[in-house]
Amino acid sequence: EFRPSVRVGALGVSEILQIGARAAEMKRQGGNIIILGAGEPDFDTPEPIKAAAAQAMRRGDTKYTALDGTPALKAAIAAKFQRDNGLTYETNEITVSTGAKQVLFNALMATLDPGDEVIIPTPYWVSYLDIVQILGGVPVLVPCREENGFRLDPQDLEKAITAKTRWIILNSPSNPSGAAYSAEQYRPVLDVLLRHPQVWIMADDMYEHILYDGMTFASPAQVEPALKSRTLTVNGVSKAYAMTGWRIGYAGGPAALIKAMAVVQSQTTSCPSSISQAAALEALTGDQSVLAERCRSFQERRDMVVSGLNAIPGLTCQTPEGAFYTFANCAGVIGKTTPDGAVITDDREFCNYLLAAVGVAVVPGSAFGLAPYFRISYATSMAELRDALARISRAVAALS
C-alpha cells in the first residue's frame, strides 16, 4: 500500500491547481469558462529567443552543461545584474537552475535545518510556504495589511524575528498582491534586517520588469549594500520574456551559499536544460525593447481590471504597482446570499460561486494566506477581461 513520507503527506495539492483543474474540466465539458488563475504571461516567447534555442540544438548543445550554468549564461547574468540593478556578482556568485522555483528550493535545502524559521510576508506565493515545510523549516507568517499597500510593516517584522530566524523572503512586485517596494519603501524594512545578522534575505525579483507608472525597480542588496553578503538575489526569464515553459531561473549571492546550492542541484537535476540556457542567453543579451512593450500592455489591462472591479458594489481593489495580478477585497459580499440560497461565508465560497454561477475562475486570498480577497491574473486578452468583469458584476448583483 502506498504511504507518502511524513514530509510530503503533510502537504496538500495546491489550491490554485485544484481550481485550475476544476475550471479546465468544466471547459472540456463545454462550459463557457474564463480562467484567470494562471500565473503566466499570455504572450509567446519572442522569435529571436526561439531561434537561439534551435541553433543551439543544431550546433549540438544537447549535452549536460556545467552543473549550475554555462559560463556564457553566467557572464550574461552578471552583466544583467550590473546593467539593471547596479549589483556586481562574480561568476562564482551566480547560479542557474530549472526555474526560479528550483533556485529557491536549492537555497532553502542548502541552509535550513529542522526548526529553522523563515519569515514569509503574507499574502505569499504559495510555494514559499510549501518549500519551507517540505524541508522541515518553520514558516513564520507576517500579515501585510491592505492599509499599508500590502507591504511589510517594519515593526511587525521586528517582532517576528527570533534567534532561530534563518531567512526572510521578500518579493517585489508581489505575487499575489502586485505590491512593489520603492527604494524608500524598502529602507525601513532593510534597517530592521541590518540589526539582525543571523537573518538572510531571499529577494525574489521575478516580476522586476513588470512594474508600472514609471516606478523604478529596487532590489534589496542594491538599496542596502551592507546586506549583500547575506542576500540571495533571485530572478528568472519566465515572467519577463514569457518563457515559463523553458524553466530557467537564476540568482546572485555569496559564493559559499552558491556552492552549497550546487551540491543540492548536483543530486536533483544535474544542470538546467542546455537548450533553454542558450535561449535564456539570447533573452538576456538580445534586444530588450520587448520588456517595455509588454509592460505597457499589462498596464493597460491592469487599469481596466482595477477600475472594473471598483465599479462593482461590494468589491474594492487597490492599484497594484507591478506583476500581473489584482488582489481585490471582497469583504462587502461576505454574508450575502446567492440566488440558490447559499450564504457566502468566506472568500473561498465567493470564488466557488463565481465559477459555478458565471464561469469565472479566480483564486481566493485565503490560498495565499490573507482573507477575504481574491486574485485575478490579468495576463489574458482585454476582450476576455472585459467579459470576465461583466460576469463578476452580474454575479455580485445577483446576491442579496
- Residue 125 makes contact with ligand PLP by CB under 6 A: yes
- Tell whether omega for the bond before 339 is within 30 degrees of 0, i.e. cis: no
- Residue 252 makes contact with ligand PLP by CB under 6 A: no
Nearer CB in complex with ligand PLP: 127/310:
127
Residue with cell 556578482: 89
User: Distance of CA 277 to CAs 82, 247, 317, 356, Å?
Assistant: 20, 9, 39, 42
Residue 100 CB, nearest distance to ligand PLP (Å)? 3
- Residue 167 makes contact with ligand PLP by CB under 6 A: no
Beta-sheet pairing, 363-364 with 373-377: antiparallel
User: Distance of CA 208 to CAs 60, 180, 254, 399, Å?
Assistant: 33, 9, 21, 39
- Residue 375 makes contact with ligand PLP by CB under 6 A: no
Beta bridge partners of 95: 251
Residue 396 CB, nearest distance to ligand PLP (Å)? 28
Gap between the Cα atoms of 364 and 351, Å rounded: 6
Contact with ligand PLP (CB under 6 A): which of 95, 238, 277, 318? Answer: 238
- Tell whether omega for the bond before 173 is within 30 degrees of 0, i.e. cis: yes
Cα end-to-end distance, the chain, whole Å: 49
Please answer whether residues 359 and 31 qualify as being in contact, where contact means their C-beta atoms are separated by less than 8 angstroms.
Answer: yes
Residue 45 CB, nearest distance to ligand PLP (Å)? 13
Residue 280 CB, nearest distance to ligand PLP (Å)? 10
Contact with ligand PLP (CB under 6 A): which of 37, 236, 322, 364? Answer: 236
Residue 125 CB, nearest distance to ligand PLP (Å)? 4
Residue with cell 486578452: 381
Nearer CB in complex with ligand PLP: 45/338:
45
- Residue 175 makes contact with ligand PLP by CB under 6 A: yes
Q: 32 is written with which cell numbers?
A: 463557457
Site map 91..120 versus ligand PLP, x via CB under 6 A? --------xxx-------------------
Contact with ligand PLP (CB under 6 A): which of 96, 118, 132, 206? Answer: 206
By beta-carbon distance, which residue lies closest to ligand PLP?
99
Q: What angle do CA 269, 275, 281 make, to 5 degrees?
A: 105
Nearer CB in complex with ligand PLP: 210/262:
210
Residue 41 CB, nearest distance to ligand PLP (Å)? 11
Q: 198 is written with which cell numbers?
A: 543571523
Q: Which residues bind ligand PLP (CB under 6 A)?
A: 39, 99-101, 125, 171, 175, 204, 206, 236, 238, 244, 249
